[in-house]
Amino acid sequence: MNKWEENIRKVVPYVPGEQPQESGVIKLNTNENPYPPSPKVYEAHRKIEIDCYALYPDPAASELVTALEQYYGLEHGQVFVGVGSDDVLALSFLTFFNSDKPILFPDVTYSFYPVWADVYRIPYECPELDENFRIKPEDYRRENGGIVIANPNAPTSIGMKRSEVEEIISSNPDVIVIVDEAYVDFGGETVLPLLKKYENLLVVRTYSKSRSMAGARIGFAMGNKRLIQALTDVKESINSYTMTMESIRIGAASLEDEDYFQRNLRKIVETRESAKKELEKRGFAVLPSQTNFLFAAHQKAEGQYLFEELRQRKIFVRHFNGERIGNYLRITVGTDEQMKRLFEALDEILGE
């Protein structure tokens, strides 16, 4: 090893789901929305003039921040925006988890959490989910340097009640509790109303799933003004201009079409529930989902085998290795037509 190599920060990176470049793939592997964003988003995009690119964008992303504050009925200074919720979450880890005590998150959850903890040298511990893949709030009563909970959780798809999340927040007044609500629009119970009650709560959301805008890279955090200011200070110590002028404009435009948003959510939820039944008919155990994906294990066929067989048929789902979840597939809810193709492929593979 060269001497200079000792000074390199070594990390094991997060591995995102595949983004296939070939055509004809049914992509049910990264929890994107199968429907396009609102026509209002297209309209806002069309109006962007090319000469805007000569200038830096607004570092405060005020148009988007104000639109979000209004949409959620918050005061000015309660919203922070970033390049997808991954950016917002990474900055939140850096800003709020500065203790020598370990932060806590479940053993089965978003696999980016341990990666951010490692890259920022934050110690962590992972209380185990119970036998039904549920978070046990009482496990979060031990000493810690902060908590992050995905609600609904991923990849399990299971949501906690607001009262259960509140139990975690209220029993941890001395640390910041981050609630990652990436999937909450699909039927979870948000803790947003608790922002009035707890100043140690930060709620993180994304445009990538429910707003069909994964490619725009927009995420945001909501919390009390001191938390938002602290996040802003850290962000501005790294990069002032994270949000492009396009993402600011189209992000704000998406909030103007509530009808479209609600219809889109309803479609996904309907497809999810019918897909759950179809999977059960074919011998899968499917966890109750409050998200835009299903977490399912077949009674006989192994997860890795099904993943590979589906992949050969150009149907991409997600499979994670891991003691408790190795037999499960995480299947994004696509259109009805895409799900039909999935079931046809499964029938072929399972020899029905």
Nearer to ligand PMP, 13 or 24 (CB): 13
The answer to the question of residue 208 lying near ligand PMP (CB under 6 A) is yes
Binding pattern to ligand PMP, positions 57-86, x when CB under 6 A?
---------------------------xxx
Nearer to ligand PMP, 307 or 346 (CB): 307
The answer to the question of residue 158 lying near ligand PMP (CB under 6 A) is no
Binding pattern to ligand PMP, positions 228-267, x when CB under 6 A?
----------------------------------------
Bridge partners for 204 per DSSP: 180, 221
The answer to the question of residue 307 lying near ligand PMP (CB under 6 A) is no
CA dist 100 and 191 (Å) reads: 27
CA dist 73 and 25 (Å) reads: 40
Let me know: does 80 contact 94? Beta carbons within 8 Å. no
Let me know: does 219 contact 18? Beta carbons within 8 Å. no
Query: Nearest approach, Cβ of 151 to ligand PMP (angstroms)?
Result: 9
Among residues 29, 92, 200, 206, the one that binds ligand PMP under rule CB under 6 A:
206
Binding pattern to ligand PMP, positions 167-196, x when CB under 6 A?
-------------x-x--------------
Nearer to ligand PMP, 154 or 301 (CB): 154
Q: 106-111 long-range contacts, Cβ below 8 Å, gap at least 24?
A: 106/135, 106/149, 106/153, 107/324, 108/133, 108/153, 108/155, 108/156, 108/322, 108/324, 108/325, 109/149, 109/150, 109/153, 109/154, 110/150, 110/153, 110/154, 110/180, 110/182, 111/14, 111/15, 111/320
Among residues 110, 116, 284, 307, the one that binds ligand PMP under rule CB under 6 A:
110
The answer to the question of residue 214 lying near ligand PMP (CB under 6 A) is yes
- What is the identity of the amino acid at 13? P
Nearer to ligand PMP, 113 or 307 (CB): 113
Q: Which of 92, 83, 54, 35 is nearest to 251 (CA)?
A: 83
In this structure, what DSSP letter does residue 85 have? H
The answer to the question of residue 166 lying near ligand PMP (CB under 6 A) is no
Positions touching ligand PMP (CB under 6 A) are 84-86, 110, 150, 154, 180, 182, 206, 208, 214, 219
